[in-house]
Amino acid sequence: MSGSAPPEKRFKSRNLLGVLAFLRQYPGQVALCLVLLGCILSVDLTLPQFIGDAINALRQDQEQGLLSPALYAQIVLWLVLVRTGLAYVLGPIRNRTVQSTLADIRAAIYNAMRRCLSLITTKPAAAN
């Protein structure tokens, strides 16, 4: 028991870097996915802030009645629709990129296994 090895880490950084190496074959698709993800993230971060500002403005303006809640509702609805549209466009692009990358990884594994099997099954030539 004293000589037991420490448990291996489940996550290794080289695993992620190995997958990223396969993504280098698709720079345009990866860049487009990252740009769309950045846009979706910016809308996601803007929504709660805008809703909070709208609530505060409506509370302060409740006595005067100058601000219309319909304007805030339209802006929130517009932001939600933009985010949904971006996600709708991003989904197929991301799926095609992932599927192509997985096909490349499978092909690399298959080739490595085939090379190993060919080394095992080949017999050295008999010397005469």
User: What are 17-51's pLDDT values in tens digits?
Assistant: 777 888 888 999 999 999 999 999 999 999 999 88
pTM over 0.85: no
Instruction: Specify if 28 maps to a domain.
Output: yes
Instruction: Specify if 8 maps to a domain.
Output: no
- Tokens for 116, please give them: 């190993």
Angle between helices 69-121 and 13-23 (to 10 degrees): 100
Instruction: Specify if 61 maps to a domain.
Output: yes
For residue 20, the tally of other CB atoms under 10 A from its CB is 11
For residue 10, give the DSSP letter: S
What's the domain range around 36? 15-121
Instruction: Specify if 126 maps to a domain.
Output: no
Question: In the chain, what is the greatest distance between 2 CA atoms, to the nearest angstrom?
Answer: 107
- Tokens for 78, please give them: 């517009």
Instruction: Specify if 5 maps to a domain.
Output: no
For residue 101, the tally of other CB atoms under 10 A from its CB is 19
* Total number of domains constituting the chain: 1
> Above 90 in pLDDT, residue 128?
no
Instruction: Specify if 1 maps to a domain.
Output: no
Where do we find the tokens 């880490």? Answer: 9
